[in-house]
Amino acid sequence: MIPFYKPYTPNKDKILESISSSIDSGVMTNHGPLVDKLEKSLMDYLGVRNLLLVSNGTIALQLAYKALELKGEAITTPFSFLATSSSLLWEGLCLRFCDIDSETFNLDDQLLNKHICPDSSSIIPVHTFGNPCNIEEIDRFAYDYNLKVIYDAAHAFGSSYFDSSIFNYGDISTVSFHATKIFHTVEGGAIIVKDDSLYNRIKSLRAFGQLDRMFGINAKMTEMQAAVGLAVLDKIDYILNVRTYLYDIYKSQLNNVQFQKINPDGQCNYSYFPVVFKDAETLLKVEHELKNHNLPSKRYFHPSLDQLIHKTQHSNSIDISSRILCLPLYTELETDNIFKICDVINKVNQSDS
Ligand SMILES: *Cc1c(COP(=O)(O)O)cnc(C)c1O
The pLDDT score that the predictor gives to residue 350 is 82
Atom of ligand 1 nearest to the CA of 180: 1
pLDDT band of 87, cuts 50, 70, 90: very high
- Compute CA distances 24 → 14, 27, 38, 261, whole Å: 16, 8, 19, 50
The region, left, alpha or beta by phi > 0 then psi within -120 to 50, assigned to residue 285 is alpha
- Which helix H or strand E contains 164, and what residues bound it? strand 164-165
Specify the pLDDT at position 260: 98
What pLDDT sits at residue 353?
56
Cα 154 to ligand 1 centroid, rounded to whole Å: 5
pLDDT category of residue 352 using cuts at 50, 70 and 90: low
Cα–Cα distance for residue pair 136/139, rounded to 1 Å: 5
Q: Is the pLDDT of residue 128 over 80?
A: yes
Residue 340: its pLDDT value, please? Answer: 98
CB atoms within 10 A of CB 7: 17
**pLDDT per position as a tens digit, 170-229:** 999 999 999 999 999 999 999 999 999 999 999 999 999 877 778 999 999 999 999 999
Helix, strand, coil fractions of the chain, as percent rounded to 5 = 45, 15, 40
For the chain, what is the mean pLDDT? 96
The ligand 1 atom at the shortest distance from the C-alpha of residue 80 is: 13
State pLDDT tens for residues 294-344.
999 999 999 999 999 999 999 999 999 999 999 999 999 999 999 999 999
Counting from 1 in the atom list of ligand 1, the atom nearest the Cα of 56 is 7
pLDDT digit string (tens) for 107-116?
A: 999 999 999 9
Q: What is the pLDDT of residue 214?
A: 85
Helix (H), strand (E), coil (C) string for 108-124:
CHHHHHHCCCCCEEEEE
User: What is the distance between the alpha carbons of residues 131 and 119, in angstroms, rounded to a whole number?
Assistant: 29
Closest ligand 1 atom to residue 87 Cα is: 10
* Residue with CA at minimum distance from ligand 1 atom 2: 154
What is the predicted pLDDT for the residue at 301?
A: 96
Q: How far apart are CA 130 and CA 87, in angstroms?
A: 20
Pocket of ligand 1 (CB under 6 A): 56-58, 80-81, 83-84, 126, 152, 154-155, 176, 178, 189
* Distance of CA 58 from the midpoint of ligand 1 (Å): 6
Tell me the one-letter amino acid at 284.
L
Instruction: Name which of 186, 169, 190 is nearest 178 in CA terms.
Output: 186
